[in-house]
Each structure stands twice: as structure tokens, then as C-alpha cells.
Structure 1
């Protein structure tokens, strides 16, 4: 152990006389002062007149022992300079057991209130000494401004509860349990709640309003998002005159979501524990909200017609026993992750439309002059259906005109794969125009910040909980505000780069397409963008190629040849196409049998072995029958078959799963049966499509099972069963992968002889990294940079006239075009948001300058924030031009 560490337990060789007065023995040392010198009684008291809450230790001849300044004679005199603390002017009253909570612990002090003729009230005397009283009448407890500020910030960053923080302070006072300080936890909780409210009012400028706090309007204390369109604050006065092709940059994007972790137990009541904020920040005003919910209590919520959304279908089955609130709903700024004013409210049972409707319209009421609002909700496809009918049941103050498509709807990108295909096409932010790269998942990011406080707010009364959450939401908004200069610049850098890549990708694809085809497809997309009730161009018009479809087509083709007298069938029951399709079926059975044999345990029972042997015998008979027909159509294989049979041991058990079927793709190049090769080509192509679809289905099933297992499965038995199910799905997935790879290898073998080209851009090589779910990226890829595996995308062949491939190519072109447009829009939106941020800070500077001295300080702060933005964004024009001007849409001119 370092000697310097243990040295502090003793006097450290210090001289005996006081280092300050050099007259008396020094036996006292302060634990909180930087100096480690020892002082006498008189000097230690004088040195701490302005530091009355420091911890003092006394040398007792053997070691240093804790001793309070109070016992050394130090008294705190209020209403006079600290230098007069020991002079004791006329006291109004004396308290020798006053408790002060400070950053060094919980201390009892001797405190004198001033009794002079000009003395203020005891509460004011404490406040002017930067001591916050626990009560306004006869206060006996106070907390220093410093400790309240420290806990305030610490609670935001570490989510420390008041109980944990106070317990730590008590241990700083006494960590032995022998001299515990007086319990002032309840008083501390009350003080910190009042502190939060007063800080909220102060920072929103309400303390400077001549009309008083009672005139505070709904949401007036919320921290506004500087980058969102705020009429009168960061938009040009004539922004409403912008033409439709330019006005989209003034869209307000809001994200709607619910959080079921922020519960509240059914303790206390609003009459006992009312909110101090009263709807002035993020929570809606409780009385009006509850009155509306009570009025609509009997409303029946329609069932979802999309994928089974628990938010819709299970609203009445949420566990609510013993809970006053099962969670909260919220409306956020969807592009900058900030909470909107009066946009948060409690949920009682599930995510009911009545609750979410009220919160949505309560939030949007603060933007009355905006002409376009985009609402993103994970159940937007259901929630939006009868929204305007339900709006008529809301209080008149929350209603607004919704004509001219003022409000549009979409589903956040992460939640979209859980919806039906029609919703994925019609509510996707990837396809809808004029939205940039907004993803709509802002509320989810906010929950990650607030969820750690759920355990402490769960036990609070209704008012305390709302005020506390309001404070956390305000801090979240403020951190987003102060970080905008970096956040927007980072987004712009990525947007410029992605715009460059995506525009080039579009140009390259269109260069390989016939001009007329691009013009036709462009007209279809633009018509849908203008009216999304039209046919969606991102949806395939033709059916997906399947083996069943190809077999039907081949059967029709053979029937036509038979009618024309050009039939090449050598058997009345088995035609050439039947021969090849049956061969592919046998190949599938071989794969399944091989997998079953390899999975057979070494200690398998007789019943298990009998089951496998029966399948071996059945497959053996099928192959023998099939090969007899194969010799009719492929007689040149007779010699090769005879050679293979001669090498087999007649005593060896039959192994039909290893039998070489010798389909046309497996034959040597000299084999010239072109029609059989054509049949196999078509069937193999369809087989790859079937295999890809099966792979996608099993990946979706595996994702669902994994999520269900994580959420609902508990216990060893249930987990074992769930894992067995997952193993079964994995076996199917592996079989589908082998099927795809075998079919693709056959296509590779057949393509030279059949002169097939370009097909391998859609039937691509399937690597292990490609086999992943929709929501899974490669290792190291974050969600924002995650790329879909190609198996979830379809790219047709530009020169092939096959209608199925061309339909797939059309859809892929639409997606490439959409990506190019969205990134271009994102650059335009970010530039507009940067402009808005600077104008908002200018407005804030002017607004605060009209206030008091505190207003001047705030005005300087916002001026510094604007200067920081200008410094960070100094090279933005050059950055936007760095990759060229590859805009494929006309950027609006910000008026």
C-alpha cells in the first residue's frame, strides 16, 4: 500500500502548533478543504464561517475522530454577511438542531435567523443564503442549492433515485451506523420535487411574466425543438405561399408510441398529490384528459385487419391489477427525437385509440398554421381508418380542419416488416415521396433513456410521477437541442454520400434499360405519388414463379405439341416434362432421407430404425421405376448406368439417397437432348424461386419463434420444447439452402448449352452471410447502416423478355429510384433544418433580451449556441457540392 495513503490516518509528522496562528496546539483537520494542515479550535471555526457544512476531524492522541462543527461552537447567522456569523446580530430565533442536507452529508447545525427590523421572513433568509427550506412555515430542515443541483443532474445522467442519493449522503455523515443523522428523506423528496418545478418555470421564462404563473398556457414550459417548423419562430413569414412542390419542406413529422414499462401503482390520488406543472410541459392536463376518457369509456375498439397487433387486439387484456396506469403514450418529433408539448398521457389498459387520439391532437394543436403533418405510428394502418370520425368526439379546442391532405400516415421502418404486404407497400417511408430518410422510430430511442427511472416512478403518487417524468423529458429535449450542431452535420455528411451512391446506381440501371420502359415506369410511379389510392407500382403485377406453375405450363406445352403432331413422348404415362419434374422430386426426397439418416442417433430404437429403413425401401423402388423411364429418353446413359452398377457390392445395403440420378444438368456436355435441358432449366429456375421463398418463410418463422421464446417461455421444460421447435425450423432452413444451391449449380451447368445469359443477376450465389432475417444486418452494422440481404430483394434481367423477370425488374427499379429520391430529399431537409435552427436561436436571443438579468444570461447562451452551429456548419455548402449535383428531383427554393 502506498505510504501516502495510510499517512493520512495520522498527523503525518506535523508540528504541534497551529499552522494558522502559531499559538495553540493544532488538533483539528478538515476532510473537505484542499489543505491538509492542522489547526487549533479557534482557527478551525473562523476558517469555516463560510464553509459551515464541512466535515471536521479531531486528533484524540491516537487517531482522528469525527466531530461536528456545531459542537465546536460554530453558529450560522442568516440575514447578515458570513463574517458576522460569530458576532450574532439580533436573532429572531435560535435553532440548535437545524438539519441541512448538503453534498457532504446530512448535518445538524446551530442556526440563528435574523431579528432585525428589516429582516425578511425565515423562508427568504434561507433562500438568500442558498438554502432551500423544507417548508414555508417554521422551517427546521433545508438543503443547499448545491446538493439539489447535484442530484438534479445526477438523476438525469445515472437515473439515481432520491432514496439512493439520500442514503449515500447519510453514509457520508456516518458509515458505521452508530451515529446516524436524523432522517430527512421525506423532506428531501419534497424539496427536490419543488426544485424541479421551480427550475422548469425559471428556464421557460415564466417567473418574468407580469401576468403571473397562473397565466401559464398548456405546454408553455416545454423545451421546443429548434429544427422542427415553428411558425413565428424559425419560418419565413410568407412560408404558406410556397407552391406544393416546395412546401413539403415545412412538414411536421410526429412519431406516436406507447411505453408499458412506465407503470404506476394505484397509490395516492390527484386530490392528495396534484401535479405542480398542471399540463404546462409534456403531460396533458390531467382533469381534462380523464374527463374525456370517462366520457368515451364505453367505446368499442375495432379489431385489427392487419397482422395481429397486440396494441389493437389486446387492449383489454393488459395486466392492470393494482395499477393506476399501465404505461404512457407519447407523441414525439420524429426527426429529432424530442417530446412535443402536451403530448404525453397515461394509459389505463393497453394502447387504446381514445388515449392516443387525445394525445395526438393535443400535440398537433401547437402547430395550427402548418399545412402538412406526417403521423408515424406502428399501427397507423388501423389507427388512421376512422380518425376523423373519432376527432369529432374530442373537445372543440383540439379539433382542426383536415382537408387538402393536411395529415398523412406511415408506419415506422423497424415495425413495418410485421405488417401485411399491402401495408408494407402503402405505409412505407421508403416509398412515400417528400419524407427524406425519416424512419419514425424516435419514440423508441427516447424510451431507452427514460426506462431506467420506471422502477422509482412506479411507486410515486400521480402528481409526483408526472412532474418527475416531465423533468426528464425536458432534460432529454435540452440535450437534443444542444447537440443539434453535431447531429445535423453528421446526418448531412452521410446523406450527401448516400445521395451520390444512390443517384449513380439509378443512372446505371436506367442506362441499361430501354428509354420507353423507363418513361412508362416513371409515369406510373409519379401517378401513385400524386394519388396513393392508385395501383402501387412497388407491388408485383405478375405471380411469382413456382415449380407448380412451370409444371402446368410444360403440361400445356406438351398438350399443344401432341395436338400438332410433334409430340416426342415415348410413353403414354410419362412425358419428358414429367420425367424431369419427377427427377427433381426424387432429388428432394434424397436430401430429406440423407438428413434423416445423419440425424439418427447411435442408440436409436428398433422403431426408429424401422421407420428409416421403410423410407429407404420406398425411395429405392421409386428410383428403379424412374430410371426405367429415363432409359427411354436418355438411352446414351445406359452404358454409364451399367458401369456404376458393376461397381456396387451386391451384399451392400441399398443407399438410394446417394444414387446419382444423372439429370441433364449432371450429364457430360456431349449429351445433346436440348428439349430435356430446356425442361430442366425452367423447372430448376422455378425451384430456386421456391427455395428462396421457403428460405424467407423459415427466416420469418425463426425470428417470430425467437421473439416469442424470449418474451413468453419460462422454465427448463418449456425452453427445451421451444428449442426443439427452433431446431426443426433450422433443419428446414438448411434443407432449403441446399436445395437452392443444388438448383443454381444445375442452372450454371445448363446455361452454356442453352445460351442463357443475365439470369445470374437474379439467381445469385447464396453465401452464408446472405441467409439472415429482414431485421438482421451483417456483423458490425448498426441499425442505421444495416443493409438488407439480397434474398429480400428482386432484380430482374434488363435484356430478357420474360414477363416475370421484367415485372421483378420494374419493382426493383422503383425501389432504386425511391432510394435515390429519399436521400436527395434528406439533403434538402437537413439544409432547411440547419437554417431553422439558427433562426430559432436568433428568436430565442431576442425573446430573452426582453426579460430580466436572467434573461440576458439566457440570451447570451442561445447566441453562443447559434455561433457554435455557424462554426460547425461553416463548410456545409462545400460539403453538399463535394459529391457533385446528382439531384434527381428539383430541390425547392427556401423562400
Structure 2
């Protein structure tokens, strides 16, 4: 009937070694699908050429095989002659490339090629078994036949076994789970000089994720244990569960900003979940998951869970190595760590040597911490950290996050085996891509080194009087190993410009001056009405200010009569000014004659001078920190704002921060003017004029210069043209006058 059409026997002979092909037969009206077994093909297992065995054991006529092109019913025979070498039926299936459903009298199988395909698709595309199974069912019969529906549980079981076999193969363990593993670390590292210790530094990152939630209604550990409990990345279940049962509610309170890990340690939103997430330990340098470095979290991120997980991963490394340990709540977690580690089970208990471990906070997470955390836990100030950001664990969570939709519906053992398999895949890709990654980083670092070294040389030359002292301070700080005391001062700590308002208040309140002066200072500095939501109206605020001014006048009547005399001659006494514009007439607004006794209580001008000095110093600190925040907002806008509404919102945040800086600058200028007016009693202040151009970070000027140069370059390229006399007339560059360059005909 034409080319490509064959008789029944030719079809059988041609597909003896290809029994999983799809065959269609002409029924006189159209082509309909036929199975090869219906044409008489029987698959002879145990024979390479698939020729009939003289002592064949007749198997099932409808042996189910799940292949890449769908489900098949195959007629199979098992070999019992000498060619099989006494192999059992499941072994003959494996040699043929079919993975049997059970070793005892198998009735179905999945081809190894299909298992490999699903394994790759599930790891790369996070495809679930359910979707893959239904896709094969659609390929087999797109009309929605339910004939193979009961094979779904079979596929789930075989996929799980396949993941376990692949894990054993990766670990070089074969079928022996008790094979000894090699020791971690290299000989001779203990003799490394202190100058090169950062080369031997191990980077550890600890973090949690809520993407590994597990419903309590699905299954339990006795009903669904892990096939590889404790062999890979998860900690061994039994001792970990026993330890977690001894943990009570977390009592640690945060002394830093609002940390979600602490706020939700005893969360009430864990109802219905056997686990609310998992904690993980990874290498911060290469972003690979550590062995036995993952554990389930039952109700938030408690210290006890993370202590056990970190100690479990740490056991695979020599405790005398140099470690850089990163955690997003390190400022809280490191407190009392030594005592908590002593309470761990003996199998994972370790002794912590502070001079072998450095605690840091990842670069992105530290932005939400207090300034004190920056000074003590910043990677930028840590020797050996290089340009590591220690945020690699977030990239792991991002990649594995799509698996959460399927793993939360699994039993606890299936979930752990599935996640272990994915992290095997993640680590393998990291190792394979490490060559290209390290080469890229090396080329970038070599180029950047030349730039930074040149800038450092120029800076050191310009600051050669102070550079040696600065270098010594940095070396002393970085060389501190915890075995000596006291700890050297932190050279990266932002200096205070002077005494603060709170400090001067305490000093004034504790001075042994006469009782009337102390009472006046306390009234002036602490007389502030509380702010409430009902007092947001402008008129109400003005009324409150007026009341405060009246109280001030009562105090001035007793302690500063000269202020009332000046007020009597001021134009505001005839036509009262608005409350926010009413003059207060503090000693700085009075003349030296008006500030002399008995018009002013002795010591009051000196007290205001101290107050103004405190205002100036604190204002400068606030301006400095405000500009740093503004710079961060600008950087975020440049890197992340790519649409109009995002740009508008980011621009509003930057403008709002600039407004705050300008308000503080106004406070400084006002306090400086008042301090200068009090020079006759407190001496020269030394506070410098704050110009508008001073409200910038050092790099702002350089960035503005680069932008201007870039704009001029583009402008010259666009504006260059040939005039009527064939002369090239260009836009002059920076520092050049107008020029006309003759053209050539």
C-alpha cells in the first residue's frame, strides 16, 4: 500500500529490538493504533538479540512499561537458559534498561531513560511527578483514558528510589551506606602564617526559609521515613527530633531593629504544619550546601534549632580551622553561644574558640541593623572576607523555592529525599561551573586591584602624616585574636563630633550647682508635650506651642527677667506674632548687659552654650548618617528602579531624605549662630559655616564629574557636523575654547 507500509511479520521482525515504538494499522477507513504484542511480538529478556529462549519462562502478556513516549503493554518472556547466568527476573529487566516496580514477580517497569528524563526535568524545571505522569498519559491517549491511573503510585515510588540511587552514585558509595568518607581539610594548614590565614578561611552561612513547609495531615515519619536519613544534607532525624523536644519557647529578645527571625520564633502561624521551614548551612565562598547542614524548623527560627544545625555541619570540619560565620541575626545569635553549645547532644557538641571564628552579617541584611551592628559585624571591616557578600544562601532558596508547592504535600521522608536530591544537583552545577566563575572573578579582581592600589597610593601620599597611624590602628584591630585584652578600638567606627544632647542633659542635671539653676535647666530641656494622633491639626499644634511659650515666660520671670524687659520693647508685644514665629529670648538672643545679674541667673548663658555645642555636634552626626542613607537610596534607585512608577517612588524617597538632611542642617546653623552669640561667656566655638554645597558625600562630586564628562562626549558626537564650506565644527570639550577644524575635500 505504498512506501512505509509493512506486513505484520515484517513489523514484528523489524521491532524485535525496538519494542516500545508506536504502530498504526490501516483498518480500511483510517489508521488506528495497535500494540506490538497484538501483532505477535514478545520481548525475550536475558538475550541480547531478543531471540526466543529454548527454556523461556512465559511472563505477563500485558506487562506495563512506562517509557518516554507513553505507556505500553508488552508481552515478556524471561530467560532460564545458560545465557541468563542464573539472573533473577528483576536483574534481567535492569539489564534490558527497564527499572522493575518490585524485585518479587514484577508486573510493570519504568525505562531508565524515562527516569533520567524526569530526573533532569524535575531538577531544572521543578516539574512534579504528577504533571510528568499526566503528560505521559496524554501522549498515550489524549482522550483521557484512566487505564493507567493506578500506576501513579508506582511512578512515585520508583522516582524516589532513583533519586536515592543517584545520590549513592554521586557519593561513590554504591549500595554500601556505611562506607567511610574521607576526612575534610588538608595537612599542613595549621602551620599557615597569620598573614595568609584568610586563604584557609572557611565561609559558613546560616539562614532559614519557609519554602520547606510540611502539612501535618499528609503523613508522619513512622509511615514515611527517609531512605537516606542523615546521609546527605539533612541532619539525622532521631537525635535532632529528641533534642528539639527539649526546647521550650524562645526567651531571647531583640536589642536590634525588628528582626523577623526573632519575632516569629514563637509564631502562632505554624498551626497545621509539621514544619514551618528549614535552616541551612552553606559555604559562603562557593555557595554549596554543607553535609548535615539542613534541619526542619517546627515553629519559627529558634536559637536551639540553629545551634544544632550549625554544630552538626561543623562536625565535618576540623574545629581548629579558621571560620567566618554569617547569620542575618548574628548580632543576637552570638550572645551566650558558648553556653548554648554546651547543652547540645554529645554527638554534635563542640567547643567554640573565639579566635578561630569571626561573626559577620550578610551585606544586604546588615542594612536593616543598627549602626553598632555595622561596626562589629560588617564584612567590609573583616579581614579575609574579600568581596564576599554572604548572601549566596538566598540564591539557593530562590532556586529551590519552586519546589515548595510539591514538597509541602509530601510525607516527611519523601520531602527530605527530594530536597536532598535537588541540593545534590545544585552542588554539582556549582562545582562544574567553578572554573569559569573563578576565572571571571580573578580577571575582575586583578583589574580592580590595580585601580584600588593606585587610589590607595595617591591617598597615602596625600595623607602621609596620618597614614602610618591609621594603618597601625587597622592592623591592631584586624590582628586581635580574642586571647588578649582589651580589644583594640574599632578604626571604622564613625566618630562623634562631640558631646550629645543626652550627655549634656545628664551633665547639667548632675552638676553640683545651686538648686535654682538645676531646676531651670531641667524645666527648659525636658518640658515637651507628648505628641498624639489627635494633635495633627496645624491650629492645635500652634495652640500647644503657645502654651509652652507661656510656661517659658513664667520661668523667665524668675530666672531671666532681662528677657521679659527685651520682650516689652519688641514689636511682638504690640502686635503678637504667630506662635511658631514668636521670639523666645534665650540668653543667646540677649546682649551681654542683659545677661548680667540680676537680669539673668548666674550660669544660665554657660548652660545654653553647652546646649548649643551639643546641638551642633549631634546635628553633624545626623547629617553624616542622613547622607549615607541618601546614597543607599540613590544606589537602589539606579540598580532596581526600571519603570516610571518605580522611579517616581524612588525619587520621592530620595527627596524626602534630602529634606530631612536640610532640616537638620538648619538646626545646626541656628545652634551655631546662638553659640557664636554666647562667645563672651563660653569663648570661641570653633564650629564652621555649613554651606549648601557641603551637604554631599565625597563621591557625589566624582560621580557628577563623570556624568558631565559622559554628557559632553555624547553631545560632541551628536553635534559634530560639516558646515557649508566643508569644515567640521564640533562641540568643545571640557576646558577647551570654541574651535573650528578645517575639513579636507
| TM superposition score normalised by structure 2 | 0.69
Structure-1 separation of matches of 2:660 and 2:342: 53
Indicate if the aligned counterparts of 1:545 and 1:686 stay in contact, CA closer than 8 A: yes
1:791-836, Cα deviation, whole Å (9 max, x unpaired): xxxxxxxxxxxxxxxxxxxxxxxxxxxxxxxxxxxxxxxxxxxxxx
SS at match of 1:183: helix
Which one of 513, 536, 539 corresponds to residue 493 of structure 2? 539
- Is the 2:627–2:697 Cα contact (8 Å) retained in structure 1? no
Q: Cα–Cα, structure 1 residues 297 and 230, in superposed 2: closer, same or farther, change >3 Å?
A: closer
SS in 2 for 1:335: coil
Q: Secondary structure of 1:106's partner?
A: strand
User: Hey, what does 1:268 align to over in structure 2?
Assistant: 219
Write the distance in 2 (CA, Å) between the matches of 1:498 and 1:427: 24
Instruction: Note if 1:343 corresponds to 2:293.
Output: yes
Partner residue of 1:405? 355
Selected match of 1:213 from 169, 176, 180 = 176
1:423 to 373, 376, 380: 373
Measure the CA separation in 1 of the matches of 2:631 and 2:47. 75
Partner Cα separation in structure 1 for residue 349 and residue 618 of structure 2: 54
2:389 equivalent among 434, 439, 455: 439
1:503 aligns with 2:453: yes
Mapped contact 1:547–1:690 kept (Cα < 8 A): no
Determine the C-alpha separation between the residues in 2 that align with 1:769 and 1:77: 81
1:91 and 2:40 equivalent? no
Relative to structure 1, is the Cα distance of residues 369 and 765 closer, same or farther in structure 2, using a 3 angstrom cutoff?
A: closer
Give the equivalent residue in structure 1 for 2:717.
Answer: none
Check conservation: 1:77, 1:113, Cα contact below 8 A.
Answer: yes
> Is the alpha carbon distance of 1:733 and 1:253 closer, same or farther for their aligned partners in structure 2, counting shifts above 3 Å?
closer
User: Residue 373 of structure 1 corresponds to which residue in structure 2?
Assistant: 323
Partner of 1:527: 476
Between the aligned partners of 1:313 and 1:534, the Cα distance in structure 2 is 34
- In structure 2, C-alpha distance between the alignment counterparts of 1:609 and 1:437, rounded to whole Å: 50
Q: 1:308 Cα deviation (Å)?
A: 2.6
2:338 is the counterpart of 1:384: no
Q: Is the 1:173–1:181 Cα contact (8 Å) retained in structure 2? A: no
* Cα separation, partners in 2 of 1:745 and 1:426, compared to 1, 3 Å: closer
The 1:762/1:529 distance shift into structure 2, 3 A limit, reads farther
Contact 2:123 2:422 in 1 (8 A): yes
Which string of whole-angstrom CA distances, capped at 9 and with x for unpartnered residues, describes residues 843-868 of structure 1? xxxxxxxxxxxxxxxxxxxxxxxxxx
Q: Per the alignment, do residues 44 and 512 of structure 1 end up closer, same or farther by CA in structure 2, a change over 3 Å counting?
A: same
Q: Could you say what secondary structure the match of 2:270 adopts?
A: coil
Residue of structure 2 equivalent to 1:41: 8
**Distance in 1, Cα, partners of 2:618 & 2:353:** 48
Q: Could you say if the C-alpha distance between residues 240 and 609 of structure 1 is closer, same or farther in structure 2, counting changes exceeding 3 Å?
A: closer
731 and 78 in structure 1: CA distance in 2 versus 1, 3 angstrom threshold = same
Q: CA deviation at 1:63?
A: 3.3
- Partner Cα distance (2:541, 2:230) in 1: 75
Cα distance in structure 2, aligned partners of 1:765 and 1:438: 25
Q: Distance in 1 between matches of 2:293 and 2:335?
A: 21
Gaps of 5+ in 2: 505-535, 547-565, 567-576, 581-611, 637-648, 671-685, 708-745
Kindly indicate whether the alpha-carbon contact (under 8 Å) linking 1:98 and 1:140 is maintained by their aligned counterparts in 2: yes
For 1:441 and 1:465, locate their aligned partners in 2 and report how far apart those are by CA, in whole Å. 25
Range 363-372 or range 104-113, more displaced: 363-372
3-state SS, counterpart of residue 184 of structure 1:
helix
> Measured at CA, do residues 765 and 487 of structure 1 come closer, stay the same or move farther in structure 2, by a change above 3 Å?
closer
1:861 aligns with none
The corresponding residue for 2:157 is: 190
Shift of residue 129, structure 1, vs aligned partner: 0.8
Q: Secondary structure at the match of 1:405?
A: helix
Alignment partner of 1:314 is 2:264: yes
Residue pair 1:155, 1:161 contacting (<8 A) in 2 also: yes
Local SS of the residue matching 1:195: helix
Whole-Å separation in 1 of the counterparts to 2:136 and 2:294: 33
Deviation at 1:274, TM superposition (A): 1.6
Q: Post-superposition shift, 1:695? A: 7.1
Determine the C-alpha separation between the residues in 1 that align with 2:479 and 2:626.
Answer: 36
**Could you tell me which of 74, 77, 89 is aligned with 1:112?**
77
CA contact (8 A) 2:212 2:404 kept: yes
Query: Is 2:412 the partner of 1:462?
Result: yes
Is residue 2:93 matched to residue 1:126?
A: yes
Deviations for 1:546-579, whole angstroms, at most 9, x for unmatched residues?
99999xxxxxxxxxxxxxxxxxxxxxxxxxxxxx
Q: CA deviation at 1:307?
A: 2.1
Match of 2:229 among 278, 301, 304: 278
Asked whether the 8 Å contact 1:79–1:125 carries over to 2, the reply is yes
Distance change (3 Å), C-alpha of 1:287 and 1:695: same
* 8 Å Cα contact 1:546/1:690 also seen in 2: no
Instruction: Tell me how large the CA RMSD over aligned residues is.
Output: 5.1
Q: Distance between the aligned counterparts of 2:618 and 2:184, measured in 1?
A: 55
1:158 pairs with one of 121, 125, 128? 125
1:757/1:507 CA distance change after superposition, 3 Å: farther
Looking at structure 2, the residues matched to 766 and 516 of structure 1 have their Cα atoms a distance apart, in angstroms, of 21
Aligned CA distance change for structure 1 residues 239 and 111 (closer, same or farther; 3 Å): same
- 2-structure distance, mates of 1:492, 1:336: 14
Q: CA deviation at 1:239?
A: 2.5
CA distance in structure 1 between the aligned counterparts of 2:17 and 2:315, rounded to whole angstroms = 51
SS of the equivalent of 2:62 reads: strand
**Residues 32-91 of structure 1 deviation map (CA, whole Å, 9 limit, x = unaligned):** xxxxx333322222221111111122233443322222222222111112441xx35433
Counterparts of 1:164-175 in structure 2 under 5 Å? Answer: 164-175=131-142
Q: CA deviation at 1:401?
A: 4.0
Aligned residues: 605
Q: Match of 2:232, SS?
A: coil
Single out whichever of 382-391 and 425-434 deviates more from structure 2: 382-391
Shift of 1:409: 1.2
After superposition, give the CA deviation of every residue in 1:692-722 in whole Å (9 maximum; x if it has no partner): 6567779999999xxxxxxxxxxxxxxxxxx
Summarize the alignment of residues 75-86 of structure 1 with structure 2, pairs less than 5 Å apart. Answer: 75-84=42-51
Secondary structure class of the residue paired with 1:96: coil
Q: d(CA) in 1 for partners of 2:615 and 2:282?
A: 52
| Contact kept in structure 1, 2:232 and 2:292, CA below 8 Å | yes
Out of 318, 324, 328, the position equivalent to 2:278 is: 328
- Which of 43, 68, 76 is matched with 2:35 structurally? 68
Q: Is the Cα–Cα contact under 8 Å of residues 250 and 265 in structure 2 kept in the other structure? A: no
* Structure-2 separation of matches of 1:510 and 1:193: 62
Q: Distance in 2 between matches of 1:354 and 1:612?
A: 52
Distance 2:689 2:457 in 1: 22
Find the residue that maps to 2:437 and give its secondary structure: helix
Among 465, 472, 489, the alignment partner of 2:422 is 472
Q: CA deviation at 1:141?
A: 1.1
Q: CA–CA distance in 2 between the matches of 1:282 and 1:200?
A: 11
Report Cα offsets for 1:98-138 as digits up to 9, x if no partner: 11111000112112222336442111111111110111111
Mind listing any 5+ residue stretches in structure 1 that lack a counterpart? 1-15, 20-36, 551-607, 619-631, 633-653, 658-679, 705-724, 747-753, 772-777, 779-895
Task: Give 3-state SS (helix, strand or coil) of 2:355's partner.
Answer: coil
User: Equivalents in 1 of 2:337, 2:199: separation in Å?
Assistant: 25
1:177 aligned counterpart, secondary structure: coil
